[in-house]
Amino acid sequence: MALPRFLAAVVVCALLAGTPALANDIQEINQQFRKGDLAGALDNANRYLAKNPKDAQARFLKGLILADQGKTNDAIGLFTALTEDYPELPEPYNNLAVLYASQGKYEAAKDSLERAIRTHPSYATAHENLGDIYAKMASLAYDKALALDSRNTAAQTKLALIKEMMGAQPRKAAARPTVAAAATPAAPAPKPAAPPVEPRTTAPAVPAADVEAAIAQWAQAWSRRDADAYLAAYASDYSADGLSRTVWEAQRRARIAAPKRIEVKLSDIKVERQGDSASATFRQAYRSDRLSSTVTKTLKLALQNGQWRIVDETSR
pLDDT, tens digit, for every residue of 252-311?
Answer: 888 898 888 999 999 999 999 888 899 999 999 988 887 888 889 999 999 888 889 999
Q: Are residues 133 and 231 in the same domain?
A: no
The whole-chain average pLDDT of the chain stands at: 76
Q: How many CB atoms lie within 10 A of CB 266?
A: 17
Q: Contact, 295 vs 220, CB < 8 A?
A: no
Residues 56 and 146 in one domain: yes
Task: Yes or no: say if 136 and 121 are a contact pair by the CB < 8 Å rule.
Answer: no
DSSP E strands in 21-77: the ranges are none
132 and 217 in a common domain: no
Which one-letter amino acid corresponds to residue 90? P
- What residues contact 69, with CB distance under 8 A and at least 6 apart? 38, 42, 229
- Domain contains 33: yes
Q: Is 20 helix (H, G, I), strand (E, B) or coil?
A: helix
pTM for this model (two decimals): 0.48
Residues 149 and 248 in one domain: no
Pair (66, 134) in one structural domain: yes
Q: How many domains does the chain have?
A: 2
Residue 275's domain spans which residues?
209-315
Number of other residues whose CB lies within 10 A of the CB of residue 106: 18
DSSP H helical ranges for 200-259: 209-223, 227-232, 245-257
Could you tell me the CATH number of the domain that includes residue 79? 1.25.40.10
Report, as ranges of residue numbers, the positions in the chain whose pLDDT lies below 70.
1-23, 155, 158-159, 161-207, 239-242
What does the alpha-carbon distance between residue 90 and residue 113 come to, in Å, rounded to a whole number? 8
Helix axes 56-68, 91-102, angle to 10 degrees: 20
On whether residue 203 sits in a domain, the answer given is: no
Asked if 120 and 214 sit in the same domain, the reply is: no
Same domain, 158 and 254: no
Torsional sign, CA 291, 295, 301, 305: positive
What does DSSP assign to residue 196? P
Closest CA to 255 of 218, 225, 212, 233: 225
